[in-house]
Structure 1
């Protein structure tokens, strides 16, 4: 197993001190998640407030009306965002991790697959949200539903999610319909749905199911997970390639293939991005050679946006009450 002390990233400007290649050599999924979250929280200047008898718990985005004494100005100087130090449990949200385990997620040009990277991202988010006292659930899928664990806050829930994530990649194709339909049907009240997938599926089905989730009031975050070799096709000579989901063999010429591939890849990515933008869904691209704290940052950004939306909603409701009292 890799030594945790040897995971330093040589880039001093990086938010994370953990190199993803070294992190993936650690066999324990739980230890990977803990290392990423602990490093991320250290970067957020996690420390107790002087003079307070209540132990510091976590950060949350600032909302108008919050006590300015709880603002972390050092964090603002680094992130250009306002965060409040929390000293008690203020969260009570249902969060579902929806993780793609189809055969395309088994692709790799690095030492590890997209699936292994996605599992680590899911475990990291699960650990982070568990620390926030959120109810965490899991759904894995390929062309059908794999593991389903209802969102709970009971002891042992995070361990159960780790067991569900540890199942190997199976199946063939990617079907986004079933998992998103099931999540929409099973979540009784508004929550946070985090979809971790390479999204190698038709955009129409994605649009329909994301719209169904949003219509029920769920906040949705899409973490598109890609191998660097999927973004840029590097062929040095004519080659025979095999589609990992259909097993179809295709003979490619480098110059023609690179141009066609990049055009189709960019078109698909643009369609996915436009779909998410139109539905108010946040999408982030995670490349498997990048630090995993990017996934955590995406969730913090989402919470920041939710905090601002809640504040606007509160101000509008207050204004309505004032108009009604006149």
Structure 2
């Protein structure tokens, strides 16, 4: 792949700040390789977890003889396995994500977050996948912990044309049906969708014990509406246009956005999801460092 394509999604300056920071799962994980994270399964490796009674076939070397001499019964030591996790980057590539110019475009900003977090996850020997969707699932890269996965992600992202409408609930339901055991699911989108339809999908993901992170990527214009004068608004997913004086719209628009975000926050809290509101005008290294530090502190506090 051309170096210019890779540099479009991976900023070396940002990466230098986040590459050594670990992305940890909020709950216990199940994987198929030895790694750095606690598994909900018990085994005979790494960290002592407790005892259980000996049964025929257990390896005698795991018998706790001190317990035997005090209780006159055989017990074996159990340990918590450490294992890898799988993180799925689920990216909304619908037309509304096209809003913005340069590096503040929502889709490019979200793509860079997915790629740089993916790099960090692969670097710690965990697996990352990439799934893109709009009104249907558009592309899927199966999980891998190879550094080549990051290159494959940038290649797929560079082929995207955000022109279709969003059918988020339908697409996420299809994606959820493909997931396996408890994993991490990071959804990057502006979440301009029917929240009542979205909630059952989040419930399905949480019922399957997935760690769900919702990264709500919005342009600063959409958050603060700092537009002046007469502006022509052009629909990205519907063929509508509106020429209006921004002063006439500002109060009503900001009130509607506040109501939407409040409802979204209530849904995420109700279903045990993590939600991060992202302003694409914010420097990405600052955003990622703050997020990874906050997540690490929350996990240590548990």
Same fold (TM over 0.5): yes
CA contact (8 A) 1:176 1:206 kept: yes
Q: Structure 1 stretches of 5 or more lacking a match? A: 1-25, 45-57, 67-89, 310-326
- The structural deviation recorded for 1:230 is 0.8
Q: 1:43 to 1:163 in 2, by over 3 A?
A: closer
| Structure 2 residue aligned with 1:269 | 261
- The structural deviation recorded for 1:284 is 0.7
| Structure 1 residue aligned with 2:210 | 218
Q: Which runs of structure 2 are paired with 1:88-103 in the superposition (5 Å)? A: 91-103=83-95
**1:223 aligned counterpart, secondary structure:** strand
Q: Which runs of structure 2 are paired with 1:128-143 in the superposition (5 Å)? A: 128-143=120-135
**1:28 aligned counterpart, secondary structure:** helix
CA–CA distance in structure 2, aligned partners of residues 121 and 59 of structure 1 = 23
Q: Which runs of structure 2 are paired with 1:84-163 in the superposition (5 Å)? A: 91-109=83-101, 112-154=104-146, 156-163=148-155
CA contact (8 A) 1:60 1:304 kept: no
Q: 1:300 to 1:162 in 2, by over 3 A?
A: farther
CA–CA distance in structure 2, aligned partners of residues 133 and 91 of structure 1 = 10
| Structure 2 residue aligned with 1:279 | 271
Q: 1:120 to 1:302 in 2, by over 3 A?
A: same
CA–CA distance in structure 1, aligned partners of residues 11 and 37 of structure 2 = 20
Q: Which runs of structure 2 are paired with 1:1-326 in the superposition (5 Å)? A: 28-29=6-7, 32-41=10-19, 91-109=83-101, 112-154=104-146, 156-293=148-285, 294-295=287-288, 297-299=290-292, 301-302=294-295, 304-306=297-299
Give the CA RMSD over aligned residues. 2.9
CA–CA distance in structure 2, aligned partners of residues 296 and 174 of structure 1 = 30
Count of residues paired in the alignment? 245
- The structural deviation recorded for 1:143 is 1.5
Moved over 6 A (4+): 58-61
Q: TM-score, normalised by structure 2?
A: 0.72
CA–CA distance in structure 1, aligned partners of residues 8 and 36 of structure 2 = 22
CA contact (8 A) 1:231 1:265 kept: yes
For residues 89-121 of structure 1, what are the alpha-carbon distances to aligned partners after superposition, in whole Å with 9 as ceiling and x for unaligned? x55001100011111111115654111111111
Q: 1:159 to 1:93 in 2, by over 3 A?
A: same
- The structural deviation recorded for 1:157 is 2.3
Larger strand fraction of residues: 2
CA contact (8 A) 2:268 2:274 kept: yes
CA contact (8 A) 2:100 2:106 kept: yes
| Structure 1 residue aligned with 2:59 | none
